[in-house]
A and B are shown apart, each in its own frame.
Chain A
Amino acid sequence: MNTQRIFSDYEVVIGLEVHVHLDTEAKLFTSCPVSYGAEPNTRVSEVCLALPGTLPVISERAVDRAVRAALVTQCKVHPISVFARKHYFYPDLPKGYQISQFEEPLATGGHIEISDPEDASRHLRIGLTRIHIEEDAGKSIHDQALAGSEVTLIDLNRAGVPLIEIVSEPDLRSPEEAVTYLRTLHRILRYVDVSNVDMEKGQFRCDANISLRPHGEVRFGTRTELKNLNSFRSVQSALHAEIIRQAELLEGGGEVVQATMGYDADRDRVFVMRLKENADDYRYFPDPDLIPLRLSPTRIDEIRDSLPELPIERRDRFCNLFGLSTYDAEVITSSRPLADFFEDVLAIGGETADFAKTVSNWIQRDVLGALRDRDLDIETSSLTPDALVELLRMVEVRRVTVKSARDLICELVVSGGNPEDLVEQRGLEAVSDSSILDTVIQEVVSENPDAISSYHAGEEKSLNFLMGQVMRKTKGKAEASTVRTFLIEKLKVGPT
């Protein structure tokens, strides 16, 4: 079925629930350490195992991270929120209930601005219904080796890891918007150190609710829930597949049935995991082992003050202070370490608009490329702000050619070092000494009389040829523009 037609016939309504592992060393309600990839049940405490007589005590840092996430998404942080027990029986849920929040969550009513995937100049505001704190469950290990066996294995290392659940309003209208929202959220959470959001480690997990309705209809259609979407790509593909499935169903006169769906990436297919005939009764009630979470205004302010500058704020500041274009500023502030690096460079080399523009150009054109090629980040590379400033200064005084400098960037990124030393070692000093240049030009001119003639006859191309010859003789250590100037000067003199 043609997706364009679907979108013209129906309005797609998507809401996303994202579970994020908070960046803490210990678990939410016990000081058991958090780790990934450890042997099963080697990161568990009595509390994680729900042994008789155990009790929860909440982690201050987890609360702090959760409040950060709420502040950074413009939510209202509630001074009192309540932990509730959510009951269901499953072997990876040791207590037989999950400690979560229900009627009184940590935060409600925020929003995230994303750029419209259809039109980069437009922004969409996606509402957030709520953010609440909860603990993660353990894992059922479905080992290939056990296929056909009588047992499932349970690993409780992950049980009790601190999570926030971020629930969006059903404001998203396409899979592309959904992915943009996820990427934006992902970036923001990383930016303010709420979480490392490493999707491969399961630190950022997404469930999607999706329904279709005719345009203009205010009531929502029946929705299905897509679970276990563990990459941005699978979110997009799964949503697409489900949209088509629902549309075909509706076109055929059928009805969408509420269900929990999974996505098979290999076959690009959605499938029903569980029909949801009745809502599960989780028998929520306030956890009597945990008194309500009380956050004073002072505390919330302290957390707000401890927030690093947000991407948008920093971008605007770079525009205002350094005169960068919005586009340039966005690229530079796309990651906090990169933005930090940029500011460090300017702090050393001078906070002028010109220098800022220069640095921005070099970062975008060369540094980022070099990082990408070698799969590095600015923080894992060996390029220091000092080195970049040094290098740019050398270019400015023509001590080294632009081309040489660009090559050096790659080296500095990978192995670090001092540009001054490197230039000396490699003999990359630009040839700008006019006497040397003069000698070389003189040589080239005398060796290529035909080129001279054709130049004088009006062939511009010959100039390029002659330049190439000079560059070759100087092993690229002459600044192209300088060579050009000298050559033209020389050739004016006329045939000798």
Chain B
Amino acid sequence: MRDDPGNRPPTAMELQNMLAEGETTSAQLVEDALSRAKVSDDLGIFVSLREDSAIKEAQASDRFRSEKKARSRLEGIPVAIKDNIAIAGEPLGCGSKILDGYISPFSSTAVERLRAFGAIPIGATNMDEFAMGSSTEHSIHGSTRNPWQRDRVPGGSSGGSAAAVAAGVVPIALGSDTGGSIRQPASFCGVVGMKPTYGRISRWGLVAFASSLDQIGPIAHTAEDCALVLDCIGGSDSRDSTCLPSGSTDCYGALNAGLENLVIGLPKEYFQSTGVDAEVLEKVYDAVKHLEEAGAELREISLPHTEYAVSTYYLVATAEASSNLARYDGARYGKRSDAARSLVGMYEGSRSEGFGEEVKRRIFLGTYVLSAGYYDAYYRKAQKVRTLLRRDFEEAFLECDVIATPTCPEVAFPLGSKLDPLAMYLSDVFTVSANLVGVPGVSLPCGFKEGLPIGLQLLGQAGDDAMPLRIAHEYQKTTNFHCAVPPGVAP
């Protein structure tokens, strides 16, 4: 035990121990979570709660436990699910008007597996509409606020999930990451967030934004909890053609392998970038030095095409998004415009009224990027640069086992302060490469600037999800940034 658990919200592991010792019940945990969810309503974390179902499932979990049939270390643990990950019978809104009121008839594979292992989803968390955004300000439900400072953004698009964990409502949450949407809010909210290797977790039931980039991932206080969740929900799924065929991982089992002989690569393009806040850089350097003291070797490496990553990302992501969102037309589900008197009216009205500004912007861009005459110069070109980025990483990993960078160039910015879309996009510079290339990435808290969390990002080789988690776990054994509690959050 690293720190006094009474000081901060408990991890899933700690709760599991308490449940096992009989110190609490799942019904109690779920009720607590639900009441905290309501109390923190001003943070705008949840868009819906599934109270009755959660309580029933908690009771069932307690029964399992009493019959000695606990299914996993997640048995009876309350979790929060981002509003773009399907739960059968529950609303799946994606923060959008066009899906307002839509009830999904099926569950995502990730949620199915969580529930099969005994975890209990208590509700859906707020997000940027259709996962497009880095601040969770673009949602019809309004903005989510950063628990550390309520006039700041929690990051996005999984801002609600990150805040849910940071505010101590639930110990673990699921988010989705297309260009940094788990890692960046985790960094802003002082929690651990992970984007696994592309294909590690089935995308069945994840509302698609950019299909070749999207991944579901865990958010928690510790790398240990993240490993638990990853092992539970990951693995082959015959419903997703892009899902890796291997079985589930054992990241949890690999957590304590230590740092001896590991080489941590520091890409000079990230550390020498002019747009990074000086204090952020300082704290991240401190963090990697700490890892060096613990036995790892630091080495400077190069990822030469870094400056092209944001362009590449936004060309690919908007193109795929414009296609994936073509199905939202008000014909078979979702909101149909009242003004729909003609077929054309139905399409234009429903989509114009149903999509927010950022979504429209990206669909517009994406449609352009794919159109005849521009396809080669934009989309195809971007996919070629993507290959160059892949090569950068492949070569870098010949010299190191893991790559360390700041997660973001800055700490959480004030609500409403980033009005220029391009400026917003540019702040994704450190996270987008991992999605383009498909490698796993973990963000963990490594310091504070003026009371706002700073995130350290660890990137592993494709397929090596265990490595960044192991290093994060090692770091968390001898530091306590992840134990800090936002003001006003009771244990």
Contacts and interface: CB of A to CB of B under 8 A. Distances in A.
Q: Do A and B touch (CB < 8 Å)?
A: yes
B67 to A, nearest CB: 34
B206 interface: yes
A54 B204 contact: yes
B203 A154 contact: no
Contact of A46 (B106, B207, B208, B347): B106
A96 B241 contact: no
B241 A289 contact: yes
B384 interface: no
A471 to B, nearest CB: 73
Nearest to B204: A55
A57 interface: yes
B242 A53 contact: no
B372 interface: yes
B238 A53 contact: no
Interface in A432-485: none
Interface in B302-355: 319-320, 323, 325-327, 329, 331-333, 341, 343, 347
Contacts of B331: 91, 94, 154
Interface string B214-236: 00000000000000000000000
Contacts of B343: 91, 152
B94 interface: yes
Interface stretch (A116-124, A266-274, A280-288, A412-420): A280-288
A89 interface: yes
Contact of A53 (B208, B212, B241, B332): B208
Contact of B239 (A55, A95, A96): A55
Contact of A52 (B86, B242, B371): B86
B241 A291 contact: yes
Q: Give the contact-size bracket for chain A.
A: 20 to 34
A97 B326 contact: yes
Contacts, number: 100
A95 B324 CA distance: 8
B491 interface: no
Given A52-B102, A55-B241, A152-B343, A96 B379 contact: no
> Which of A52, A58, A97 neighbours the largest number of chain B CB atoms within 10 Å of its CB?
A52
B211 interface: yes
A291 B329 contact: no
Contact of A57 (B99, B238, B325, B372): B238
Given A54-B204, A58-B241, A283 B370 contact: yes
B248 interface: no
Interface in B234-254: 238-242
B108 interface: yes
B104 A53 contact: yes
Contacts of A283: 323, 367, 370-372, 375
Contact of B105 (A51, A150, A281): A51
A96 B208 contact: no
A85 interface: yes
Contacts of B182: none
A288 B212 contact: yes
Contacts of B439: none
Given A85-B323, A285-B323, A53 B371 contact: no
A50 interface: yes
B92 interface: yes
A394 B216 CA distance: 77
Interface in B68-115: 84-86, 92, 94, 99, 102, 104-106, 108
> Which of B204, B211, B241 neighbours the largest number of chain A CB atoms within 10 Å of its CB?
B241
A290 B206 CA distance: 16
B102 to A, nearest CB: 7
Contacts of A54: 204
A283 B375 CA distance: 8
B347 A89 contact: yes
Interface in A49-70: 49-58
Nearest to A52: B207
A95 B328 CA distance: 8
Nearest to A92: B331
Contacts of B323: 85, 87, 96-97, 283, 285
Nearest to B346: A91
Main secondary structure of the interface of A (DSSP, over half): loop
Given A281-B371, A283-B367, A288-B211, A53 B329 contact: no
Nearest to A282: B372
B205 interface: yes
Nearest to A280: B372
B370 A289 contact: no
B105 A53 contact: no
A285 B375 contact: yes
B204 A89 contact: no
Contacts of B203: 53, 55
Nearest to B205: A53
Contacts of A55: 203-204, 208, 239-242
Interface string A91-107: 10011110000000000
Contacts of A49: 332-333
Contacts of B326: 87, 89, 95-97
Contacts of A291: 241-242
Contacts of A58: 241
Contact of B104 (A51, A96, A97): A51
A433 to B, nearest CB: 74
Contacts of A154: 331-332
Contacts of A288: 210-212, 242, 320
Nearest to A48: B332
B211 A53 contact: no
Contacts of B99: 52
Contacts of B367: 283
A126 B329 CA distance: 42
B370 A53 contact: no
Interface string A305-326: 0000000000000000000000
A51 B86 CA distance: 11
A152 B346 CA distance: 12
A51 to B, nearest CB: 7
B241 A285 contact: no
A285 B329 CA distance: 21
Contact of A95 (B204, B210, B240, B327): B327
A224 to B, nearest CB: 22
Contacts of A85: 323
A248 to B, nearest CB: 35
A50 B84 CA distance: 15
> Which of B106, B208, B323, B379 neighbours the largest number of chain A CB atoms within 10 Å of its CB?
B323
B373 to A, nearest CB: 9
B105 A46 contact: yes
B379 A289 contact: no
A9 B208 CA distance: 57
B370 A290 contact: no
Nearest to B85: A53
Nearest to B348: A89
Given A52-B99, A285-B375, A89 B329 contact: yes
Contacts of B241: 55-58, 289-291
Contacts of A51: 104-106, 333
Nearest to A91: B331
Q: When A and B form their complex, which 5 residue pairs have the shortest distance between CB atoms, in order from nearest?
A: A96-B326, A288-B211, A288-B212, A283-B370, A52-B207
Given A53-B205, A288-B210, 7 more contacts: A91-B331, A91-B343, A96-B326, A152-B343, A288-B211, A288-B212, A289-B242
Interface of A: 46, 49-58, 85, 87, 89, 91, 94-97, 150, 152, 154, 156, 281, 283, 285, 288-291
14 contacts: A51-B104, A53-B203, A53-B207, A55-B204, A55-B208, A55-B239, A55-B240, A94-B327, A95-B326, A95-B327, A150-B341, A283-B367, A283-B371, A283-B375
Interface of B: 84-86, 92, 94, 99, 102, 104-106, 108, 203-208, 210-212, 238-242, 319-320, 323, 325-327, 329, 331-333, 341, 343, 347, 367, 370-372, 375, 379
